[in-house]
């Protein structure tokens, strides 16, 4: 197959440009949904006492997060297995994890198992992905696996980013700093942002401006509402609107900005009283000042 090489400036879509920009504070792709099958996680249970090993194997075998569940009775068996499965989630006591420390690579995740408060504390001290109390409690198992899965997704995102950015650097003959600079210039040259990266809590999400219904100020934070979700972002309204760079965002009142394209109709409820009905069904009151400035000439109901 003939290899086709395109100039970098035309070889990337707006979303790709955003994904591979070096602006970590503005752009990220951590919000992309992954099929759990892509994770291909293997649960490896090591050196668990016999009374709990069987129940833990049964419990993990029923979880969709894992393609395989394997129990190892010795450290030697575990070492051989971990070499074969670099994307493992290891379930073991803190002492056993310490003995395996040299084999636990970046792609692996660890869950400390035990039955005492001291075991739970050790999980925190070694920065494990979670603690699982024995015997197994279904509710706790669900919470533990949810955290493991989220951490595994983040690791997969980082690995994907690294592989693709290295591939782009190799294809175009530039280092990562030069690639980031080119992509930053390309992002800056676009009239409107194709995607906006927002940090919500400890997570990042990427949003298309058209997906945002309205934004509400709440002290030092902004609540960004989309269909079915809301994200709490530490930012000023002015800065957020600057990053969106979209004329469709208009003030409804001092603390709320709405996306004009997501407004279903404007409702008059008496002299000087107006509401915007969003396409989500939410009603937002328009202040008199904003009505005179932005809304009195809008072709809405």
Q: Model confidence over 131-162: pLDDT tens digits?
A: 888 888 888 888 888 888 888 888 877 777 78
How do residues 278-291 score in pLDDT, each as one tens digit? 888 899 999 999 98
Q: Token digits for 300?
A: 């809405």
At residue 92 the predicted structure's pLDDT band, cuts being 50, 70 and 90, is confident
At residue 49 the predicted structure's pLDDT band, cuts being 50, 70 and 90, is low
**Which class is 196-295 in CATH?**
mainly beta
Domain boundaries, the chain: 36-155, 196-295
**Residue (of 228, 230, 227) closest to 216 by Cα position:** 230
At residue 5 the predicted structure's pLDDT band, cuts being 50, 70 and 90, is very low
Q: Which fold has domain 36-155?
A: Rossmann fold (3.40.50)
Helix 176-189 and helix 138-172, axial crossing angle in degrees, nearest 10: 90
Least confident of 46-50, 167-171, 256-260, 264-268: 46-50
How do residues 162-195 score in pLDDT, each as one tens digit? 888 888 888 778 888 887 777 777 666 655 556 6
Q: Token digits for 273?
A: 């009283």
Range 15-54 burial, b when 16+ CB lie within 10 A, else e: ebbbbbbeeeebbbbebeeeeeeebebbbbbbbbeeebbe
Q: Token digits for 97?
A: 């994890």
Pairing relation of β-strands 88-92 and 41-46?
parallel
Residue 28 confidence (pLDDT):
35
Cβ(79)–Cβ(103) under 8 Å? yes
Cβ(45)–Cβ(56) under 8 Å? yes
Taking the CA atoms of 57, 53, 99 and 75 in sequence, report the sign of the dihedral they define.
negative
First-last CA distance in the chain: 57
Residue 258 confidence (pLDDT):
94
Percent of the chain with pLDDT strictly greater than 90:
8
Percent of the chain with pLDDT strictly greater than 70:
79
Would the CATH topology of 36-155 be identical to that of 196-295? no
Cβ(130)–Cβ(148) under 8 Å? yes
Residue 38 confidence (pLDDT):
54
Cβ(248)–Cβ(231) under 8 Å? no
Please give the model's pTM, rounded to 2 decimal places.
0.47
């Amino acid at each position: 197959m003939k290899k086709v090489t395109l100039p970098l400036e035309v070889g990337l879509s707006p979303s790709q440009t955003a994904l591979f920009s070096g602006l970590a504070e503005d752009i990220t792709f951590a919000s992309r949904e992954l099929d759990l099958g892509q994770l291909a996680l293997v649960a490896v249970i090591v050196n668990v006492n016999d009374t709990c090993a069987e129940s833990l194997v049964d419990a993990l075998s029923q979880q969709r997060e894992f393609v395989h569940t394997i129990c190892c009775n010795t450290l030697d068996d575990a070492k051989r297995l971990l070499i074969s499965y670099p994307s493992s989630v290891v379930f073991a006591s803190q002492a056993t994890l310490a003995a395996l420390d040299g084999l636990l690579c970046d792609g692996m995740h660890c869950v400390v198992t035990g039955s005492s408060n001291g075991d739970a504390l050790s999980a925190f001290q070694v920065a494990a992905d979670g603690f699982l109390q024995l015997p197994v409690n279904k509710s706790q198992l669900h919470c533990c696996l949810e955290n493991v899965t989220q951490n595994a997704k983040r690791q997969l995102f980082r690995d994907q980013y690294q592989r693709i950015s290295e591939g782009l650097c190799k294809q175009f003959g530039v280092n990562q700093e030069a690639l980031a600079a080119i992509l930053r210039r390309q992002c800056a040259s676009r009239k409107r942002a194709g995607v906006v990266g927002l940090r919500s809590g400890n997570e990042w999400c990427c949003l298309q401006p058209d997906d945002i219904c309205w934004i509400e100020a709440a002290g030092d934070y902004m609540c960004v509402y989309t269909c079915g979700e809301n994200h709490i972002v530490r930012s000023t309204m002015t800065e957020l609107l600057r990053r969106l760079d979209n004329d469709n965002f208009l003030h409804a009142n001092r603390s709320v900005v709405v996306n004009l394209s997501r407004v279903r109709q404007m409702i008059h409820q008496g002299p000087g009283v107006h509401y915007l009905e969003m396409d989500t069904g939410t009603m937002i009151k328009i202040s008199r000042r904003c009505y005179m400035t932005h809304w009195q000439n809008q072709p809405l109901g």
